């Protein structure tokens, strides 16, 4: 009798340390909000977190919270609650999951971190529309609901080349946030502290880049699915020493895997690039599905979005502006195409998967002919899968499996 081989997902040992710093982060936020020891700012994921941290705010990231709702699949019950108050099922399912959860009075933080009863109540809401308009609408709902001030940056979009005038525009908008933030904390911005925070963010970014680039090795020591988890500190703790210390440990472990020829996927035979967002509620299934097919999904635009080479402590405001503008999601298709081509070459990719996320057009780069263009130019085959980041009603597991298996077979045959 043949025995079905079980896929073993190799545990990254550094995960325990990551869990500890993430736990400290969430309990710290909770303490700030419940005792008033620090003012709390909510910030969009590529908003001016460095400025907020340097001004002494405890910083909560609603997108991180929404991703937790997705990963725990609680989003399924929350999204309809927001739909019922007029937020369309077609808009960002991070937004609808998060607002729905607020209305239902629930948070996945309570289960993961006993003693935390709710998301931390904000003193200010800070957005940057560099990624999308939804983040502004999202925080606007809380601003009205909680009577909390909302401030932010209206960013240029579809930028091909980032110019000085773009940078001047965004830098002056970041500087214009300072008086409101000073009025909330009651303290003046300390420029030296800002420089220090920008420097810490820069170091975090460089280490995160090194972590992701270990996957240029064959076999790759880390997959996209691992990286979506391990990017947590780069998102919520950038600008802190804790994130830097963590990535040093993770990097050492991955380098050791490379030195010993240990791959994240046993018997790696194909190397896949993931373009778009993860399906948070299917991370495990997707990770196992590809591993069974000996296909390592090892690089992505999404996880690389928390690499900000522009940060410069010598010029904090302008370099923050440059970093937030150079982001992939801000850029025009011509730039995006060149970027993806470079990534395909760097990671020696055999095939590319585009996740067409129903509720996030901004992270779905398959809708204006990109897969066909890049396939023509590089000869690297592409597959588009339909799904969503958080709304599992848009995900068909059977169809995904069938399409992925056929794609992998096609890649095998073409090798």
Q: How far is the CB of 99 from ligand SF4 (least distance, A)?
A: 12
40-43 and 58-60 strand pairing: parallel
Q: Does 389 bind ligand SF4 (CB under 6 A)?
A: yes
Sole residue written with tokens 């980041």: 389
Cα separation, 59 vs 122, in Å, equals 9
* Closest separation in Å from C-beta 389 to ligand SF4: 6
335 binds ligand SF4 (CB under 6 A): no
Within 10 angstroms of residue 51's Cβ, the number of other Cβ atoms is: 26
- Binding segment toward ligand SF4, per CB under 6 A, in 33-41, 127-135, 161-169, 201-209: 127-135
What tokens appear for 343 in the block? 């990534």
Q: How far is the CB of 393 from ligand SF4 (least distance, A)?
A: 16
Q: What are the φ/ψ torsions at residue 196 (nearest 5 degrees)?
A: -60, -45
Look up residue 253 and give its two tokens.
Answer: 């472990």
**Rounded CA Rg of the chain:** 21
Q: Is 85 exposed, middle or buried (0-12, 13-18, 19+ CB in 10 A)?
A: exposed
Q: Which stretch binds ligand SF4 (CB under 6 A): 132-140, 295-303, 341-349, 407-415?
A: 132-140
Q: Residue 280 Cβ, how far from ligand SF4 at the closest point, in Å?
A: 10
Shortest Cβ 92–ligand SF4 spacing (Å): 3
The single residue among 360, 370, 383, 385 that binds ligand SF4, judged by CB under 6 A, is: 360
Full DSSP string of 6-44 = PPPPPPPTTHHHHHHHHHHHHHHHHHHHHH-SS-EEEE-
Which spans in 260-349 are helix H? 283-292, 301-304, 316-325, 333-346
The residue among 63 and 350 lying less far from ligand SF4, judged by its C-beta, is 63
Closest C-alpha among 21, 318, 303 to residue 198 = 318
Candidates 194, 193, 154, 143; CA nearest to 41 is 143
- Is residue 94 at the binding interface for ligand SF4, with CB under 6 A as the rule? yes
Among positive and negative, which fits the CA dihedral 11, 74, 121, 182?
A: positive
CA dist 336 and 305 (Å) reads 12
**What span, in angstroms and rounded, lies between the C-alpha atoms of 132 and 130?**
6
Q: Classify 273 as helix, strand or coil.
A: strand
Answer for which of 96, 107, 129, 131 binds ligand SF4 (CB under 6 A) is 131
Residue 135 found at the interface with ligand SF4 (CB under 6 A): yes
* Shortest CB 386 distance to ligand SF4, Å: 16
Residues between 51 and 70 with contacts to ligand SF4, criterion CB under 6 A? 63
Q: Residue 363, interface with ligand SF4 (CB under 6 A)?
A: yes
SS3 398: helix
- Binding segment (CB under 6 A) for ligand SF4, from list 130-138, 139-147, 365-373, 392-400: 130-138
Nearer to ligand SF4, 47 or 233 (CB): 47
Span from 176-184, 209-217, 240-248, 355-363 in contact with ligand SF4 (CB under 6 A): 355-363
Among 71, 109, 124, 132, binds ligand SF4 (CB under 6 A): 132
Residue 65 vs 286, nearer CB to ligand SF4? 65
Stretch that binds ligand SF4, among 144-152, 211-219, 300-308, 358-366 (CB under 6 A): 358-366
Nearer to ligand SF4, 64 or 175 (CB): 64
Output 28 or 89, the one with its CB closest to ligand SF4: 89
**CB-wise, 335 or 362, nearer to ligand SF4?**
362
Find the Cα–Cα–Cα–Cα dihedral 69, 72, 74, 76, rounded to 10°. 100
Give least dist CB 245 to ligand SF4, A.
28
Applying CB under 6 A, does 362 fall inside the site for ligand SF4? yes
Which residue of 50, 134, 275, 326 would you call a contact of ligand SF4, by CB under 6 A? 134
Where on the chain is the footprint of ligand SF4 (CB under 6 A)?
A: 63, 92, 94, 131-132, 134-135, 360, 362-363, 389
């Amino acid at each position: 009798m043949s025995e079905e081989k079980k896929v073993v997902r190799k545990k990254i040992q550094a995960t325990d340390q990551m869990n500890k710093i993430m736990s400290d982060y969430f309990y710290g936020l909770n303490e700030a909000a419940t005792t008033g020891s620090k003012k709390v700012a909510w910030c969009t994921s590529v908003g001016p977190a460095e400025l907020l941290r340097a001004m002494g705010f405890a910083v909560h990231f609603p997108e991180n919270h929404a991703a937790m709702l997705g990963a725990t699949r609680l989003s399924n019950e929350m999204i309809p609650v927001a739909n019922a108050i007029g937020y369309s099922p077609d808009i960002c399912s991070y937004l609808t999951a998060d607002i729905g959860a607020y209305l239902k009075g629930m948070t996945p933080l309570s289960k993961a971190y006993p003693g935390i009863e709710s998301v931390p109540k904000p003193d200010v809401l800070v957005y940057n529309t560099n990624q999308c308009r939804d983040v502004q609408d999202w925080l606007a709902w809380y601003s009205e609901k909680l009577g909390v001030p909302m401030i932010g940056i209206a960013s240029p979009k579809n930028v091909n080349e980032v110019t000085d005038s773009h940078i001047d525009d965004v830098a002056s908008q970041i500087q214009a946030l300072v008086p409101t933030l000073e009025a909330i904390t009651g303290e003046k911005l300390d420029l030296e502290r800002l420089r220090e925070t920008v420097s810490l963010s820069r170091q975090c970014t460089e280490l995160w880049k090194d972590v992701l680039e270990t996957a240029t090795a064959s076999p790759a020591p880390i997959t996209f699915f691992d990286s979506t988890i391990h990017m947590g500190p780069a998102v919520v703790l950038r600008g802190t020493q804790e994130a830097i210390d963590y990535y040093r440990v993770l990097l050492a472990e991955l380098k050791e895997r490379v030195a010993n020829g240990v791959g994240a996927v046993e018997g790696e035979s194909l190397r896949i690039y993931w373009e778009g967002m993860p399906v948070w509620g299917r991370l495990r299934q997707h990770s196992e599905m590809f591993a069974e097919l000996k296909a390592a999904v090892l690089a992505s635009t999404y996880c690389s979005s928390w690499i900000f080479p522009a940060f410069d402590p010598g010029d904090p405001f302008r370099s923050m502006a440059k970093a937030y503008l150079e982001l992939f999601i801000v850029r025009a298709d011509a730039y995006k195409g060149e970027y993806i081509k470079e990534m395909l070459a760097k990671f020696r990719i055999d095939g590319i998967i585009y996740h067409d996320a129903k509720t996030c057009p901004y992270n779905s780069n398959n809708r204006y002919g990109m897969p066909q263009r890049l396939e023509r130019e590089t000869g690297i085959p592409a597959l588009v899968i339909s799904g969503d980041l958080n709304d599992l009603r848009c995900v068909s597991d059977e169809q995904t499996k069938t399409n992925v298996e056929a794609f992998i077979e096609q890649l095998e045959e073409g090798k």
